[in-house]
Amino acid sequence: MDAMVRELSYAQAIQEAMAIAMDMDERVFLMGEDIGVYGGAFQVTGDLVERYGTDRVLDTPISELGGAGVAVGAAVTGMRPIFEFQFSDFATLAMEQIVNQAAKMRFMLGGEVSVPVVMRFPAGSGTGAAAQHSQSLEAWLGHVPGLKVIQPATPYDAKGMLLAAVADPDPVMIFEHKLLYKAKGPVPEGYYTVPIGKADIRREGRDLTIVATSIMVQKALDAAATLEAEGIDVEVVDLRTIRPMDKQTVIDSVKKTSRLMCVYEAVKTLGIGAEVSAMIAESEAFDYLDAPIVRLGGAETPIPYNPELEKATVPQVPDIITAARDLVKGVR
């Protein structure tokens, strides 16, 4: 079993998953801007066009609304498109097709169709690409019934969740943090899936639950390692899916640790942290809380270009350490 596990980057893991999906099912194809000979803006499709040809690795014009809509139309009528947005920010141009069409078509037609489309969104800040190329918009789509929204944080999950997304009969939106693409981790060869809608406890602990998403999972784990030396035992829950959310895993963790902190890169207000906090406040775990819930999210500002400002707008490991320390010691 172990012999089949290699170290792959997050981008390689996604590429492998797409190749496996195309090998297994000839209805699967890729669409997106510059995903062919260019290999994708982040080299995720890489040389797939050489292996699968330009019909199955289809470069689109720069037409996000139309392209996303074409993918939806193809999905409704028997194909299994995987649509790559060059940056998640450009989802804003395609909101109509994602929110009004893909998400609602099955419902509006009384279950007569389903929309098995997968959309991939390179997201997040940290690359110096400024305000229109650095956003974290997953909560926007997480607000829409009919969509499933996932944020794999490791190469293993990136591959397994993409394969689960392709097998899913409903539209699945995958947010991939750009800074994760080069991150390496163990990935088994061949086909496997990681279920959508299941959180993962990445580190067990007694004193505090940190619910984190995407790149913040690794930051939370790094913070936890430092805090361990101070005698603070952190449990890190990787949410993985934001819709449908795995409430039970979070509830059980909070019942165990009695403290909750949410860490995510998107703007703090009206975000995933608000949802997780409210969900806990409404649940039986509320009675177990020993301290107020803490949210660490992005600043209430677009992402600035200047690198120091850019870093300061999203939670960093020292911010998590300080907040966790204060939370456990009861500093308010």
Ligand X SMILES: Cc1ncc(C[n+]2csc(CCOP(=O)(O)OP(=O)(O)O)c2C)c(N)n1
* Active site positions, annotated: 64, 133
Task: Give the closest residue to 10 by CA, choosing from 123, 116, 104, 148.
Answer: 123
Nearer to ligand X, 93 or 201 (CB): 93
**One of 19, 65, 93, 289 touching ligand X (CB under 6 A):** 93
- Interface positions, 59-78, toward other proteins (CB under 8 A): 59-66
Residue 90 lies near ligand X (rule: CB under 6 A): yes
Q: Which is nearer to ligand X, 52 or 90 (CB)?
A: 90
Under rule CB under 6 A, residue 291 binds ligand X: no
Counting Cα atoms < 13 Å in the Cβ hemisphere of 20 gives 21
Which amino acid type is present at position 156? Y
Residue 261 · residue 293 · CB < 8 Å: yes
100 binds other proteins (CB under 8 A): no
Our CA angle for 163, 166, 170, nearest 5°, is 135
Least distance from other proteins to the Cβ atom of residue 218, Å: 21
Query: Would you give the binding string for ligand X spanning residues 151-190, x where CB under 6 A is met?
Result: ----------------------------------------
Whether the Cβ atoms of residue 239 and residue 151 lie closer than 8 Å to each other:
yes
Number of residues that bind other proteins (CB under 8 A): 37
Q: Which is nearer to other proteins, 38 or 107 (CB)?
A: 38
Number of C-beta neighbours around residue 283 at 10 A:
16
List binders of ligand X among 12-71 (CB under 6 A).
33, 62, 64
- Per-residue x/- mask for other proteins, residues 256 to 295, rule CB under 8 A? ----------------------------------------
Window contacting ligand X (CB under 6 A); options: 85-93, 117-125, 187-195, 249-257: 85-93
Q: Spell out the residues 6+ positions from residue 186 whose beta carbon is closer than 8 angstroms to its own.
A: 5, 6, 7, 8, 155, 156
DSSP strand pairing (148-150 vs 241-243): antiparallel
Cα torsion 271, 276, 281, 282 to 10°: value is 100
| Residues contributing to the site for ligand X (CB under 6 A) | 33, 62, 64, 86, 90, 93
